[in-house]
């Protein structure tokens, strides 16, 4: 069974003067262990789709199942709790908490989950080693490069043992070399530990590394190909 | 990573804003505490000077006396009653007095005065006028002899400025040299030169003691006589010539302008009221409103004579009560304005803080942080800032008010004259630390709580997606 099932999803923004149809009749199913890119030109609806799959926003119509839970049935603190335990997020602009060290950033999620101090310290250290930052545990984000910050973000996303990790244009702010390193880390985690990654991008080098490419155009799925 | 630690780091993150906010809370707390202490101190000075020194917290008097304080409304003094009242535990002192208005003259100067017939023994326990007896005076003669003394000549300028000034003790005299302290030997010399005679009354005295401003006005000294003229009991006229045995400097300027102390027996003779008094004045140990009421009630239980009234100073002296109340109101209004300014300062900080961090809030909530946890951590930051500001305010304010409540600031110059003319002692007293200090801290904390309604609302309504976009 697919871990994510998107059924005839529509998203219309009508908070401004003009209505914008960002997504139109999206049907998609994603299985555990996928390494999938959502691609398409700017404005095609990539972010909107990821936000909906991430439970950050509600669709205008249609529904999304994650595991055996329908996201539209979750409201308020239940939805927040669902995200905490099931979904990992990586953002384009890293979004680490500036007052926390790399280690504390990774620990934070586990702390919210109620993991014991000892265990979360152990796991956070492991994860930072895993993304190649074992020696930067005590650095604040401002002391890390963009690529390093994004790898901390990946470690943070992994910390909660989520069902899948959503990454909205994770390499958009990175140079070629950092992009390469980040993708290597993500690929390794996917291959060795079966972590499911869904990421959006319009960078051809990133697209080339994906094993499945969903192409969006004006809110429609134009193509869905497996490499 | 505890919330507290996170709050600390967040405060550290924008040091400048934290410092500005903390210092505004600090100044507000300091200012409020000091100002309130001044206010409360001045009320207790007013009460001390007029109630404790003269009026009494409770009076027992003829029921007609309140309306019409004349000799006809006096009553037979009663030693037994006095002793019974003195035995009530909260009663510090009881004293009988016969009070009458009369005209005092000397040469062709005269002035309306308040003749206080007192029992020197109980009055000493009550207001201790002897304490204010003048022992030193800078008469023109003193100044003249100074100008001839090369040792003391340099002090002439200061002393000339205080011509005719009177002092109850050497400490008071020394104070006129506060700007430029003088040696012991010079002080001793001046004290010797300026010493004047005078003593307080004893019960069988045939003389009187004058208040110092009155004596100056009538140009009278110890050894001179004063002529008193007034109405006696039941239409008789009261006239007498009395030698002045001492002069007292009463702190309350209003009284210092017009009091003549006379032994009770002599006053009864002067007014022709045999063994009658105007009232018993009573001072208390604990003067709080509550204790005042309780003590008044126990006195009422003792006083059985139906023609006698037991009244508290608040019932009798509406003017002073109103004066304090209106002053208190304007003081509180001022504090309210101060707090309003500080409140908007805090609110400004809070609004900036929220707007700066709205994106971060979006991140935390999308990662799975519950909104109430976020609110709590933000609230902790605000409380931490408030506590720092309040703490520093206390740290600086409390020693200041403790110090000045022991050593009140004595005004001099025009300001002092102005206050004296308005009937106030030229002192800026402060109330020592008590509940009002903590009250100011609590008010500030409450303001922070009110200000934190803004971020609470903001976080509750926060839309993750739009917060993330910022
Ligand atoms: N909050 C919003 N209000 C109105 N229109 C929006 C909003 N968010 C996105 N859109 C519009 O929806 C469309 C899809 O946007 P988005 O999902 O951000 O595309 P992409 O991430 O592929 O660039 C765009 O036309 C965009 O302008
Ligand atoms: Mg986008």
For residue B370, give how far its alpha carbon lies from the nearest alpha carbon of chain A (Å).
Answer: 6
Contacts of B468 in chain A (CB under 8 A): 56, 91
* A91 reaches B (C-beta below 8 A): yes
Give the sheet arrangement for strand A61-66, strand by strand.
Answer: A20-30, A4-13, A61-66, A69-70
Whole-angstrom CA distances from A25 to A37, A221, A222 are: 19, 8, 12
Cα A12 to averaged position of ligand 1 atoms, centre (Å):
10
Q: Is A84 in contact with B365 (Cβ distance < 8 A)?
A: no
Q: In degrees rounded to 5, what are phi and psi of residue B285?
A: -75, -60
pTM score: 0.75
Q: Which of A81, A84, A100 sits opposite B1 (nearest CB)?
A: A100
State which residue of chain A sits closest to B461, comparing Cα positions. A76
Distances (CA, A) of A136 to A103, A129, A144, A158, A160: 8, 9, 8, 17, 20
Residues in A touching B360 (Cβ below 8 Å): 95, 97-98
A22: closest CA among A3, A4, A48? A48
Distance A55 CA to ligand 2 centre (A): 16
Instruction: Measure the CA–CA gap between B112 and B258, rounded to whole angstroms.
Output: 7
Of B43-52, B65-74, B348-357, B444-453, give the lowest mean pLDDT range.
B43-52
**DSSP helix/strand/coil, B94:** strand
User: Within a domain: residue B308?
Assistant: no
pLDDT interval class at A15 (50, 70, 90): confident
Q: Does A77 touch chain B if contact means CB atoms closer than 8 Å?
A: yes
State mean pLDDT over B233-246.
92
- In the predicted structure, residue B46 carries a pLDDT above the cut 90: no
- Range in A129-143, B156-170, B390-404 the model is least confident about: B156-170
Q: For residues A76 and A81, give the distance between their C-alpha atoms in angstroms, rounded to a whole number.
A: 9
**Which residues in A lie closer than 8 A to residue B376 (C-beta atoms)?**
none
Nearest to A50, CA basis, from A169, A183, A149, A187: A169
pLDDT mean over B216-230: 94
Furthest CA-CA distance within chain B = 98
What average pLDDT score do residues B357-373 get?
93
Q: Which two tokens stand for residue B265?
A: 């027996």
Residue A116: predicted pLDDT: 93
pLDDT of residue B421 exceeding 80, the answer is no
Residue with tokens 């709580």: B449
Residue A141 confidence (pLDDT): 93
Judging by DSSP bridges, how do beta strands B308-312 and B109-118 pair with one another? unpaired
Subunit contact A54:B369, Cβ cutoff 8 A: no
Residue B103: φ, ψ to 5° = -105, 130
Q: What is the pLDDT of residues B120-136, one digit of tens each?
A: 999 999 988 998 999 99
Please tell me the predicted confidence (pLDDT) of residue B423. Answer: 65
Q: For chain B, what is the mean pLDDT? A: 89
Does residue B117 sit within a domain?
A: no
Q: Predicted ipTM?
A: 0.94
CA distance B40 to B328: 8
What total of structural domains would you count in chain A?
A: 1
The SS3 call for residue B245 is strand
Question: Is there a contact between B373 and A77 if contact means CB atoms under 8 Å apart?
Answer: no
Structure-token match 């005295």, residue found: B205
Q: CA-CA distance, B332 to B340, in Å (whole number)?
A: 12
Interval between CA A168 and ligand 2 midpoint (Å): 7
- Position B162 pLDDT exceeds 90: no
- Going from the Cα of A20 to the center of ligand 2, the distance in angstroms, rounded, reads 15
Q: Which domain holds residue B330?
A: 3-49+320-468
Distance between Cα A112 and ligand 2 center (Å): 28
pLDDT tier, B14 (very low <50, low <70, confident <90, very high otherwise): confident
Task: Report the separation in Å between the CA atom of A40 and the middle of ligand 2, taken as the mean of its atom positions.
Answer: 10
Q: Give the closest residue to B52 by CA, choosing from B325, B235, B357, B285.
A: B285
Which chain A residues are Cβ-neighbours of B467 within 8 angstroms?
Answer: none
The C-alpha atoms of residue A125 and residue A107 are separated, in whole angstroms, by 9
d(CA A220, CA A24): 6
User: Which has more pLDDT, B259 or B139?
Assistant: B259
pLDDT of A8 reads: 93
Using the beta-carbon criterion (under 8 Å), do A160 and B368 form an inter-chain contact?
Answer: yes
Could you give the strand order of the β-sheet that contains A197-201, starting from the edge strand earlier in sequence? A87-90, A164-168, A197-201, A35-39, A212-217, A220-226
Q: Do B360 and A97 touch (CB under 8 A)?
A: yes
Q: How many CB atoms lie within 10 A of CB A136?
A: 20
Rounded to whole angstroms, the Cα distance separating B8 from B17 reads: 13
Which residues of chain A does B13 touch, with a Cβ-Cβ cutoff of 8 Å? Answer: 98-99
A117 touches chain B (CB under 8 A): no
In a domain, B284, yes or no: no
In B, minimum Cα distance to A79 occurs at B368
Say if residue B48 is exposed, middle or buried (CB neighbours under 10 Å; 0-12, 13-18, 19+). Answer: middle
Q: What percent of chain B has pLDDT over 90?
A: 47
Q: Which helix (H) or strand (E) holds B116?
A: strand B109-118
Residue-level pLDDT at B191? 87
Closest-CA residue, ligand 1 atom 16, reads: A45
In angstroms, how far is CA B190 from the centroid of its own chain? 32
Asked if B365's CB is within 8 angstroms of A80's CB, the reply is: yes
SS3 assignment, position B28: helix
Q: What is the span of the domain harbouring residue A129?
A: 4-226
Partner-chain contact B368 A83, CB within 8 Å? yes
* Contact yes or no for A108 and B367 at CB 8 A: yes
> How confident is the model at residue A194, as a pLDDT?
87
Tally of CA atoms within 13 A in the half-sphere of B286 that contains its CB: 12
Give the per-residue pLDDT at B149. Answer: 80
DSSP string of chain A, one letter each residue: --SEEEEEEEEEE-SSSS-EEEEEEEEEEE-TT-EEEEE-STTSSHHHHHHHHTTSS--SEEEEEETTEEGGG--HHHHHHHHHHHEEEE-TT----TTS-HHHHHHHHHHHHT--HHHHHHHHHHHHHHTT-GGGTT--GGGS-HHHHHHHHHHHHHHT--SEEEEESTTTTS-HHHHHHHHHHHHHHHHHH---EEEEE--HHHHHH-SEEEEEETTEEEEEEE-
- Which of A18, A24, A48, A221 for mutating ligand 1's site (highest number of atoms within 8 Å of CB)? A48
Mean pLDDT of A186-190: 90
Q: Is residue B299 within 8 Å of B280, Cβ to Cβ? A: no
pLDDT tens digit sequence for A100-152? 999 999 999 999 999 999 999 999 999 999 888 999 999 999 999 998 999 99
Whether residue B140 is predicted with pLDDT greater than 90 in this model: the reply is no
Q: Which band of pLDDT confidence, cut at 50, 70 and 90, is reported for residue B66? A: confident
Weakest-pLDDT range from A62-66, A204-208, B411-415: B411-415
Instruction: Report d(CA B89, CA B55) in Å as an integer.
Output: 20
| The two structure tokens encoding residue B40 | 């409360």
Ligand 1 atom showing the smallest separation from residue A20 Cα: 5
Write down the H helix ranges in B368-463.
Answer: 371-406, 413-421, 435-451, 453-461
Number of domains in chain B: 1
SS3 B77: coil
End-to-end Cα distance, chain A: 21
Q: How far is B353 from chain A (nearest CA, A)?
A: 14
**What are the Cα distances from residue B217, in Å, to B49, B105, B255?**
22, 10, 13
Rounded to whole angstroms, the Cα distance separating B387 from B252 reads 41
Q: Which of A69, A32, A62, A33 is nearest to A48 (CA)?
A: A62
pLDDT confidence bin for B1, thresholds 50/70/90: low
What does the alpha-carbon distance between residue A178 and residue A197 come to, in Å, rounded to a whole number? Answer: 18
Looking at the DSSP bridge assignments, the partners of residue B280 are B60, B96
Residues 6+ apart with CB under 8 A from A24: A10, A218, A219, A220
pLDDT tens per residue, range B305-363: 889 999 999 998 888 889 889 988 988 898 889 888 888 888 988 898 889 889 999 99
pLDDT mean across residues, chain A: 92
Here the CATH number for the domain that contains residue A142 is 3.40.50.300
Between CA B280 and CA B355 the distance in angstroms is 68
Q: Classify burial at A192, counting beta carbons within 10 Å of its beta carbon; exposed 0-12, middle 13-18, buried 19 or more.
A: exposed
Pocket of ligand 1 (CB under 6 A): A 13, 15-16, 20, 22, 40, 42-48
Angle, CA of A47, B464 and A32, to the nearest 5°:
50
Q: Which of B6, B367, B371 sits opposite A99 (nearest CB)?
A: B6
Chain A residue at shortest CA distance from B373: A112
B370 within domain boundaries: yes
Judged by average pLDDT, the poorest of B31-45, B115-129, B166-180 is B166-180
**pLDDT band per the 50, 70, 90 thresholds, residue B245:** very high
């Amino acid at each position: 069974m697919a871990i994510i099932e998107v059924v005839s999803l529509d998203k219309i923004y009508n908070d401004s003067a003009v209505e914008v149809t960002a997504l139109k009749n999206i049907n998609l199913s994603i299985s555990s262990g996928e390494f999938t890119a959502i691609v398409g030109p700017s404005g095609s609806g990539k972010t909107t789709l990821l936000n909906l799959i991430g439970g950050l926003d509600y669709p205008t119509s249609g529904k999304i199942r994650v595991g055996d839970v329908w996201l539209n049935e979750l409201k308020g603190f239940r939805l927040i709790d669902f995200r905490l335990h099931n979904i990992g997020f990586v953002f384009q602009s890293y979004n680490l908490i500036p007052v926390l060290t790399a280690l504390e950033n990774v620990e934070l999620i586990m702390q919210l989950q109620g993991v014991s101090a000892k265990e979360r310290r152990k796991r956070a250290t492991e994860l930072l080693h895993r993304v190649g930052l074992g020696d930067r545990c005590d650095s604040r984000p401002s002391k890390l490069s963009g690529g390093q910050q994004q790898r901390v973000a990946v470690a943070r996303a992994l910390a909660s043992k989520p069902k899948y990790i959503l990454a909205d244009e994770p390499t958009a702010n990175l140079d070629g070399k950092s992009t390469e390193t980040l993708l290597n880390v993500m690929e390794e985690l996917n291959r060795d530990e079966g972590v499911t990654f869904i990421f959006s991008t319009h960078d051809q080098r990133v697209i080339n590394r994906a094993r499945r490419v969903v192409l969006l155009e004006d809110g429609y799925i134009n193509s869905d190909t497996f490499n | 990573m505890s919330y507290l630690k996170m709050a600390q780091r967040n405060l550290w993150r924008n040091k400048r804003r934290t410092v500005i906010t903390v210092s505004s809370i600090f100044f507000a707390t300091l200012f409020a505490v000091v100002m309130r202490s001044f206010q409360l101190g001045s009320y207790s000075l007013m009460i001390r000077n007029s109630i404790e020194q003269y009026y009494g917290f409770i009076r027992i008097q003829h029921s007609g006396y309140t309306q019409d304080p004349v000799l006809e409304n006096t009553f037979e003094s009663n030693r037994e009653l006095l002793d019974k009242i003195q035995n009530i535990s909260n009663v510090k002192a009881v004293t009988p007095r016969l009070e009458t208005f009369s005209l005092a003259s000397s040469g062709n100067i005269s002035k309306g005065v308040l003749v206080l017939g007192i029992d020197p023994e109980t009055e000493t326990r009550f207001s201790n006028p002897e304490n204010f007896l003048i022992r030193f005076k800078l008469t023109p003669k003193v100044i003249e002899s100074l100008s001839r003394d090369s040792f003391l000549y340099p002090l002439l300028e200061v002393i000339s400025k205080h011509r005719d000034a009177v002092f109850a003790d050497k400490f008071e005299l020394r104070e006129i040299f506060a700007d430029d302290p003088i040696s012991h030997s010079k002080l001793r010399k001046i004290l010797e030169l300026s010493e004047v005679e005078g003593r307080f009354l004893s019960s069988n005295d045939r003389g009187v003691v004058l208040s110092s401003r009155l004596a100056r006005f009538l140009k009278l000294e110890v050894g001179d006589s004063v002529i008193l003229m007034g109405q006696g009991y039941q239409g008789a006229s009261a006239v007498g010539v009395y030698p002045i045995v001492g002069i007292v400097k009463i702190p309350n300027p209003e009284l210092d302008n017009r009091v003549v102390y006379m032994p009770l027996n002599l006053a009864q003779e002067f007014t022709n009221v045999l063994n009658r008094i105007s009232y018993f004045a009573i001072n208390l140990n604990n003067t709080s409103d509550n204790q005042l009421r309780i003590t008044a009630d126990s006195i009422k239980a003792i006083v059985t004579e139906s023609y006698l009234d037991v009244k508290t100073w608040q019932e009798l002296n509406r003017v002073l009560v109103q004066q304090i109340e209106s002053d208190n109101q304007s003081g509180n209004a001022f504090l309210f304005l101060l707090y309003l300014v500080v409140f908007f300062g805090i609110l400004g900080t809070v609004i900036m803080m929220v707007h700066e961090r709205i994106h971060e809030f979006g991140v935390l909530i999308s990662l799975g942080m519950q909104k109430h946890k976020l609110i709590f951590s933000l609230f902790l930051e605000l409380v931490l800032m408030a506590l720092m500001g309040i703490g520093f305010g206390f740290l600086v304010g409390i020693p200041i008010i403790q110090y000045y409540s022991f050593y009140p600031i004595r005004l001099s110059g025009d300001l002092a004259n102005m206050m004296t003319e308005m009937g106030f002692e030229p002192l800026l007293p402060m109330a020592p630390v008590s509940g009002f200090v903590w009250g100011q801290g609590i008010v500030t904390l409450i303001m922070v709580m009110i200000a934190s309604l803004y971020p609470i609302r903001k976080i509750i309504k926060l839309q993750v997606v739009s917060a993330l976009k910022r």
